[in-house]
Chain A
């Protein structure tokens, strides 16, 4: 059965420094992987997706993620954090018409 583990419930970085949000997954097949973002009291927005093409995936707002099959990881990165990046981020794996969600990582940006 597939599962998703987000390794940090909270990540705190200073504005202008790099962001790393970690995600590991387990899947029986070749998965589709996504990162979604949820700003406070808002809906969910797709940041980026991996669907077995290039292993380095670029998303919106300067985010990118690298699919590493050998490590079963799909970590999300951004070179320089902005205050507007403060939100909760979800790593998601998709198989057989079902999306399996990680518990989320809350990104805190310090001025």
Chain B
């Protein structure tokens, strides 16, 4: 049972570089989302998707792009990395927005 798979687990970027965090789920969930976790702040929603071809912004979307071309995949793109984007990123999926979310193991990103 793969569940939600995130890659990479760790990444160091230089300011201004771009990269894509990958997220895939094999549970046929319609709803997928990306969060960032910073100390003392819980998880904050970056972007979410309620199905293939549909995405929307969450609480902290600036500096990030997403797309949802298939039900399984929901990549997060950092356009031009900044030190303020140093964080732990989690991808999640669920049947719906009000149901249990299943999380990937997280990506620890450092921007120097």
- In the assembly, what is the distance between CA of A90 and CA of B44, in Å? 12
CA distance A104 to B92 in the complex (A): 18
Judged by a CB distance under 8 angstroms, whether B96 is at the interface is yes
Count of B residues near A, CB < 8 Å?
24
Chain A residue total in the interface (Cβ 8 A): 21
Residues in A whose Cβ lies below 8 Å from that of B106 = 43
Chain A interface, DSSP helix/strand/loop, else mixed: strand
User: Taking the complex as formed, is A25 at the interface, i.e. its CB lies under 8 A from any CB of chain B?
Assistant: no
8 Å CB interface, A60-89 against B:
none
A49 within 8 A of B: yes
The A-contacting residues of B in range 68-112, CB under 8 angstroms, are 90, 92, 96-101, 103-106
- Within 8 Å CB of B103, what residues of A? 43-44
Interface of B is mostly: loop
A-chain residues with CB within 8 Å of residue B12 when the two chains form the complex: none
Is B100 a contact partner of A90 (Cβ separation < 8 A)? no
Among B31, B42, B105, point to the contact of A101 (Cβ < 8 A). B42
B50 contact set on A, CB distance < 8 A: 97
A9, B39: Cα distance in complex, Å: 11
For A34, list chain B residues within 8 Å (CB).
Answer: 100
Instruction: Please judge, given known A-B contacts A97-B31, A97-B50, A98-B45, whether A46 and B40 are in contact too, CB under 8 Å.
Output: no
Having A44-B103, A99-B97, one finds 11 other A-B pairs with CB under 8 Å, namely A4-B42, A9-B40, A43-B105, A49-B100, A90-B43, A95-B97, A95-B98, A98-B48, A98-B58, A99-B45, A102-B42
> Would you list the 3 A-B pairs with minimal beta carbon distance, nearest first?
A97-B97, A101-B42, A101-B43
